[in-house]
Amino acid sequence: MKENEEIKRICRAVIERIRPDEEERRRVKAVIDLIITKINKNASEMGIEAHAISVGSTARNTWIRGEADIDIFIMFPAAMSEEYLKEKGLAVAKSISDRYEERYASHPYIHAYFYDAEGKTEHEADLVPCFSVKDASLLKSAVDRTPFHNEYIVKRIPGLEDEVLLLKQFLKSAGIYGSEQRRKGFSGYLCELLILNYSSFVALLKNASQWQYGERIDIEGRGKYKGTGKDPLFVIDPVDPNRNVAAAVSLDSFCRLIDSARDFLACPDASFFSHAKKKEMSRAEFVKRIKERGTEFVMVLFEAPDVVDDILFPQLRKAEASVTNLIERNGFKVYRSDVSVEGNKAFLIFELLVWTLPQVKKHLGPPVTSKYHSEEFKSKYASRPSFRIENGRYVVEVERKYTDVVGLLKNELKSCSLGKQVSEAINKGYDVLRNEEIKFFKGVGYFFRDYFGGI
């Protein structure tokens, strides 16, 4: 009982800290109304049949104080072509702001900047063209589903907004909030669905602390999604029964929520809702760490391709897996690996247990009893002094092509499966750096602080 009161006290204090005050809500709403009015006015003047709506956390009052993500969808009739939507949608979006960037997800959208009425606070907003389809089963693009998400949550979330905020802050502190490929965590929409399913933040934690691999949640009970057997968590999309809202959640993120839920319930503390910025690791500290570990760090460094993270990070991880395979095929041993993008630089990092090898390598031939293959092997290697029989097989010693992992990566990296944009970037040039050679440009120190840190 005393423990439950302590949890309630902590949650109340956290809510007071993270819930937007009325002034912030007023400012954000005013900016949203301004954007929608501008889009509707300019679309009409440009002869474009489209209208704007607000979606996402700012439309549902589920954003954390100071972190308002404004999402405005520009709705086009479903009968229009995709080419028309892209051309006219971007045109009307660009027409309402003097400062913007064109970005790309499932199709192009505009990330724009706006000041509030007082001209004091700058707000960022994503302006996304989409089709106004009648039903979620008639989607023409992935983003067409979002207005249905918004409608579903807006009707059901009133009274539970604070519970969503607590969950978001808890996940942020654990480093698993956000469904982008860089993080592979829990999206805002997924947080809202989890709260709708369990009715409160604490009830969610109590259930999550007992989750098993393959946990399935289906609020409407109409789910058709069966999965691939690789999803640790299934949360059926109530507006699309063939979709898993938790598909982006990695096994590690899933397990981190379970672990954090258990720890908080066992020993409630406000620190579970703190997200203090870690101190950047210095180059000297990094060098000291690797000397203590006795491993070898190798970084493949190149210019980051100019694509959004959700396109870039899957390619980086594909490259990471392919390069790891190359390294281990050649006799070296990877202990850990990771990828990151910091500023305009992308890199793959490999920590190795074995990074140098002797020149000699044992090459196993076929069993002596296999007459056909034995004759082929002997014709190729029998003249070598090291040719012998060992444990019933022919054996010969050959020279390794690469005795050092850096030489291997400098010469064979481009033979790996790297992904389109990553391959193009690496073809323009890359560095292979080891230990003290690793460059500490901005952001690398934070990466290594996380790498060496625990949960």
| Predicted local confidence at residue 37, as pLDDT | 96
What CA–CA distance (Å, rounded) separates 10 from 299?
43
CB atoms within 10 A of CB 297: 24
**Would you give the DSSP letter of residue 218?**
-
Structure tokens at 263: 């720890």
In a 3-state reduction of DSSP, which class is residue 299?
strand
Whether 246 and 171 have beta carbons less than 8 Å apart is answered as no
Structure tokens at 88: 């006219």
Using CB atoms within 10 Å of the CB of residue 226, give its burial: 0 to 12 exposed, 13 to 18 middle, 19+ buried: exposed
* Domain 161-273 indexed as CATH 1.10.1410.30: yes
22: alpha, beta or left? (left if phi > 0; alpha if psi -120 to 50):
alpha
CB atoms within 10 A of CB 155: 8
* pLDDT per position as a tens digit, 214-243: 999 999 998 888 777 789 999 999 999 999
Where b means 16+ CB within 10 Å and e means fewer, 118-130 reads eeeeebebbbbbb
Find the helix packing angle between 283-293 and 444-452, rounded to 10°. Answer: 30
Query: Which uninterrupted H or E stretch holds 23?
Result: helix 22-45
| Predicted local confidence at residue 119, as pLDDT | 66
Residue 24, pLDDT > 90, answer yes
Please give the share of the chain, as a percent, with pLDDT higher than 90.
Answer: 86
Query: Which uninterrupted H or E stretch holds 89?
Result: helix 82-94
Residue 423, pLDDT > 90, answer yes
304-310-314-319 Cα dihedral, nearest 10 degrees: 0
Mean pLDDT of 435-439: 96
Q: What is the amino acid identity at position 288?
A: K
Which CATH number is associated with domain 19-145?
3.30.460.10
Mean pLDDT of the chain: 94
CB atoms within 10 A of CB 267: 11
| Predicted local confidence at residue 2, as pLDDT | 60
Mean pLDDT of 275-298: 92
Q: What is the amino acid identity at position 282?
A: S
Structure tokens at 285: 């500290």
Mean pLDDT of 435-444: 94
Q: Residue ranges of the domains in the chain?
A: 19-145, 161-273, 283-357+402-452, 366-398
What CA–CA distance (Å, rounded) separates 415 from 319?
11
Q: What is the amino acid identity at position 432?
A: V
Structure tokens at 398: 């050959």
213-218-223-228 Cα dihedral, nearest 10 degrees: -10
pTM for this predicted structure: 0.89
How far the first Cα of the chain sits from its last, in Å, is 29
* pLDDT per position as a tens digit, 320-374: 999 999 999 999 999 999 999 998 999 999 999 999 999 999 999 999 999 999 9
Q: How is domain 283-357+402-452 classified at the CATH fold level?
A: Alpha-Beta Plaits (3.30.70)
What CA–CA distance (Å, rounded) separates 370 from 394?
10
| Predicted local confidence at residue 104, as pLDDT | 79
Residue 1 pLDDT grade (very low, low, confident, very high; cuts 50, 70, 90): low
Residue 271 pLDDT grade (very low, low, confident, very high; cuts 50, 70, 90): very high
- Compare 141 and 348 and report the one with higher pLDDT: 348
Mean pLDDT of 315-323: 97
* pLDDT per position as a tens digit, 172-187: 999 999 998 889 999 9
* pLDDT per position as a tens digit, 365-421: 999 999 999 999 999 999 999 999 999 999 999 999 999 999 999 999 999 999 999
